[in-house]
């Protein structure tokens, strides 16, 4: 059955569909503007009392996310409940970062900078307002026609978490989840930083750091394995950039960068350094890490932090053996 109207919003067409529901292009006749309306699918297996409880929690979450007012975050306009709860958001004309990445495959630091700088600003602003996204991924970053990134679905990942009978460890997109999120532990801004690091790796290396054929295999790698330095996949990247990205992907939240803007600043500073003359891509992973440690030992304070991170990971890997 074709949906014609949800609440006061006139549905024009479906523009997206995912695990959480359907996104429609809709028109608000009162304000006279086009909007994006996203339905939130609550588990049908829940009893009425539990569904009522969760819809109340959803309202709290959307109110929290609705406080965000930033050029790099999609604005939330409204929330309602009809057949399903729904969120009404700013309509962004453009494409997702995932769509853009598929066309480009790999990005250089200079060309990706306008995107990652805007995303970092949006993430840090949300954190300053006490809001954690929990599902930062390329599909949730929209790029406008003016090449301005806008993060969408703030608060919706938490609403899905609340509406699920499943453990929170599996809520989100496995390829972009943090270790603590997978384990169902405490989730704060460090989780978004980890996901942001995966996005940077994905854009610059052209590969995901924890790629596998199944969600279970992906989560195992995130919890137990260290990713290859991104320069393994993209020889144009320097070992200093390797250091920044692998620090961002530290399994211990306390060892990551504290702000997304710090990641971008460190990346730019690393890129500005002279590219080293050695090419470790033909060596095994252990040798690559040794070279990375050797190179990073000479950089500034931020790079020194990355060095310590590499040494710890390398030592832990030896201990496991």
**3-class secondary-structure state, position 22:** strand
Q: What phi, psi does 284 have (nearest 5°)?
A: -75, 170
Active site residue 139: no
In the chain, DSSP finds a helix count (H) and a strand count (E) of: 11, 9
Tracing tokens 């060309």 back to the chain, one arrives at 111
Candidates 34, 78, 124, 135; catalytic one: 135
What does the alpha-carbon distance between residue 218 and residue 297 come to, in Å, rounded to a whole number?
A: 31
Give the CA distances from residue 293 to residues 167, 296, 310, in Å, rounded to whole numbers and listed in that order.
38, 5, 7
Angle at 189 (CA atoms; ends 167, 97), nearest 5 degrees: 85
Please state, in angstroms and rounded to a whole number, the distance separating the CA atoms of residues 109 and 260: 16
Which residue numbers are catalytic? 135
């Amino acid at each position: 059955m074709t949906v014609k109207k949800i609440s006061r919003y006139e549905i024009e067409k479906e523009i997206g569909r995912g695990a959480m529901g359907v996104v429609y292009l809709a028109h608000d006749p009162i304000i006279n503007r086009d909007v994006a309306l996203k339905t939130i699918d609550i588990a049908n297996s829940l009893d009425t009392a539990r569904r009522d409880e969760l819809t109340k929690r959803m309202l709290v979450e959307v109110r929290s996310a609705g406080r965000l007012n930033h050029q790099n975050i999609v604005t939330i306009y409204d929330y309602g409940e009809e057949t399903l709860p729904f969120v009404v958001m700013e309509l962004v004309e453009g494409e997702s970062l995932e769509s853009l990445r598929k066309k480009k495959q790999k990005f250089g630091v200079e060309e990706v900078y306008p995107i990652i700088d805007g995303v970092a600003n949006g993430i840090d602003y949300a954190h300053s307002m006490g809001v954690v996204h929990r599902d930062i991924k390329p599909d949730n970053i929209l790029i406008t026609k003016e090449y301005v990134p806008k993060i969408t679905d703030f608060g919706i990942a938490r609403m899905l978490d609340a509406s699920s009978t499943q453990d929170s460890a599996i809520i989100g997109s496995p390829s972009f989840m943090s270790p603590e999120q997978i384990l169902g532990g405490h989730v704060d801004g460090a989780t978004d930083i980890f996901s942001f690091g995966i996005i940077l790796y994905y854009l610059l290396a052209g590969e995901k750091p924890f790629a596998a054929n199944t969600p279970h295999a992906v989560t195992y790698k995130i919890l137990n394995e260290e990713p290859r330095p991104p320069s393994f996949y993209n020889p144009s990247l320097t070992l200093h950039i390797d250091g920044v990205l692998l620090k961002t992907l530290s399994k211990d939240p306390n060892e990551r960068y504290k702000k997304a803007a710090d990641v971008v600043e460190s990346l730019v500073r690393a890129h500005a350094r002279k590219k080293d003359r050695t090419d470790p891509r033909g060596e095994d992973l252990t040798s690559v890490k040794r070279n990375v440690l050797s190179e990073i030992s000479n950089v500034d304070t931020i790079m020194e932090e990355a060095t310590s991170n590499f040494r710890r990971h390398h030592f832990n890997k030896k201990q496991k053996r």
